[in-house]
Structure 1
Amino acid sequence: MRYPAAGLDWTYGRLVGFDLETTSTDPHSARIVTGSVVGYGGGQPTSVRTWLSDVGGSQIPTAASAVHGVTTEAARSAGRPAPAVVEEITATLAGLVEEGHPLAIMSAPYGLTVLDREARWYGITPLGDRVSPVVLDPLVLDRRVRKWAQGPRTLERLCRHYVVPLDEDAHSSEADATAVCELVRRMGRRHALLAKSSPARLHQRQVGWAREQGEDLRAYFARTPGKEAWARDVRLDWPLLPLRREGGR
């Protein structure tokens, strides 16, 4: 592992950003359209690998295409076979985790669950069965250090707050993965609570923080007229959602 220079915290080390553009907001059934893995910081040039999948013959809904700009026709004509894309993304992440690099992932339970379910669908060894990644999720971290901040914590809003460059019209996995790395780094440098912990310690703390945040959200929905039913859909698991009991994806 390449450690930061003496006297510097983890925000000066190498981070790996990971982001997906997909067919759906449901992590159990979404198919990967594009995926990017970005090596960032640590005194080294930024490295980027991006994949375009043929989505395994699935359709990309118009609403999803409107967000990331990839149509079903484009994916099928220019994309690579979905199983190969899933294997290469998983293997790339596993290799970087083995080198000791933390993964920076916005809303980690979504991206990691999509990748996990795709791997299982194609009979590929999932990331979590290969390595134990250390994950830094700006959504969970910001909810901890700015508990009472108002408004949704989208990637765009967080980047504006922490003054991180992001082309809000791009909506590409490469742009988002790069922005998340810088976002996590600036969050760490602004908040001592984050900087003074190692990435491994932060990972463990986020497990508890995410559960507390989910429990608070459940309680809010449960006591809010018209939102009571939403409480049962709030998941407390982080950074990976468990398999559905009925099996499959």
Structure 2
Amino acid sequence: MSWTQAPVVGFDTETTGVDVGEDRIVTAAVVRREGRSTSVTTWLVDPGVPIPPDATAVHGITSEHARRHGRPPGPALEEIAGELADALSHGEPVVAFNASFDLSLLDAELRRHGLASLGERLGRDVRVVLDPLVLDRHLDRAREGARRLGTLCDHYAVRPVGALHTADVDVAATIGVLDALARAFPAIGTMALDDLHDLQVDAHRAWAQGYNARPPEPGRERRTADLSWPLRRARPLAA
């Protein structure tokens, strides 16, 4: 049976920012889909630091709301990591858009709170991960334009059920884009999951090397793309 017919577990976070060594998880969603059955688990977390206004403008969660209604990070992170490790240990791939951000931020948060990383829970490398961003970049390299989740939804005619930048909505949209990619590029649906994971490792590295070799746009600061996927190299954590 093709992996496209088997269970998958989607994962997404909304955060205080985009630095995986400094920023914190504010909301998270894990969505398990098996056939026509879908289960959704969400978390609202008090990150323990102020949520910048720019981040609130994206996901709508204020510091006051998170402090009043959010859970302490430790127990929430333990549950999130437990759900993902359980899926991976049972051979269910984790689906995440720009997976190296969400998974690396989760791993940093686990280290910050003295909790076992995903790799430590599994006793091996974190795999199999399916990332529609990495796959789209690799499979349709000639297409120009942005490759944000919203633009991929438009390109592949995926209609999100709700507003993007809400973790559970983003997960459902990400799984929808993955389904559309498998229809548009049927060869990936016939690949073994381990082979598809390895393809993404190589595809991301090739993309990152090309990105880093390009001169930056005038007047714009650009971060160096990490060559590792699906987890970036661990960096020192902010307190």
Q: Which of 215, 226, 229 is the equivalent residue of 2:218?
A: 226
Instruction: Mark the CA change 1:185 to 1:248 in structure 2 (over 3 Å): closer, same or farther.
Output: same
Runs of 4+ in 1 over 4 A off after TM superposition: none
Residues 33 and 75, structure 1, Cα contact 8 Å, conserved in 2: yes
TM-score, normalised by the number of residues in structure 2: 0.93
Q: Distance in 1 between matches of 2:237 and 2:92?
A: 31
Aligned equivalents of 2:219 and 2:79: distance in 1? Answer: 41
Alpha carbons 1:38, 1:48 under 8 Å: kept:
yes
Question: Does 1:174 pair with 2:168?
Answer: yes
The match for 1:80 among 71, 83, 91 is 71
Pair 1:248 & 2:216 matched: no
Give percent identity, aligned residues only: 38
Tell me the CA shift for residue 138 of structure 1.
0.7
TM-score, reference length from structure 1? 0.89
- Name which of structure 1's ranges 162-171 and 77-86 shifts more when overlaid on structure 2: 162-171
Q: Does 1:43 align with 2:32?
A: no
2:103 is the alignment partner of 1:109:
no
Q: Deviation at 1:196?
A: 2.3
Say which SS state the counterpart of residue 18 (structure 2) adopts. coil
Of the three residues 1, 5, 22, the one matched with 1:12 is 5
Structure 2 gaps, min length 5: none
Mapped to 2, the partners of 1:234 and 1:200 lie a distance apart of 24
In the alignment, is the contact (CA less than 8 A) between 2:29 and 2:167 conserved in 1? yes
Question: Which segments of 5 or more consecutive residues in structure 1 lack a partner in the other structure?
Answer: none
> Separation in 2 of the partners of 1:133 and 1:92?
14
In 1, Cα distance between equivalents of 2:94 and 2:42: 16
Which residue, 136, 146, 152 being the options, matches 2:140? 146
Displacement, 1:106? 0.4
Q: Secondary structure at the match of 1:21?
A: strand
Q: Is the 8 A contact 1:156 1:168 kept in 2?
A: no
What is the alpha-carbon root mean square deviation over aligned residues? 1.7
Residue number in structure 2 paired with 1:23? 16
Partner of 1:48: helix, strand, or coil? strand
**Separation of aligned partners in 1, 2:234 and 2:164:** 32
Does the Cα contact within 8 Å between 1:19 and 1:111 map onto a contact in 2? Answer: yes
Larger deviation: 91-100 or 135-144? 91-100
The structural deviation recorded for 1:169 is 3.3
Query: In 1, are the aligned partners of 2:14 and 2:26 still within 8 Å (CA)?
Result: yes
Structure 2 distance, partners of 1:146, 1:135, is 19
Looking at structure 1, the residues matched to 161 and 51 of structure 2 have their Cα atoms a distance apart, in angstroms, of 23
Equivalent runs, 1:155-174 vs 2, <5 Å:
155-167=149-161, 169-174=163-168
Counterpart CA distance in 2 for 1:12 and 1:139 is 21
CA distance, structure 1, for counterparts of residue 157 and residue 100 of structure 2: 25
Matched length: 235
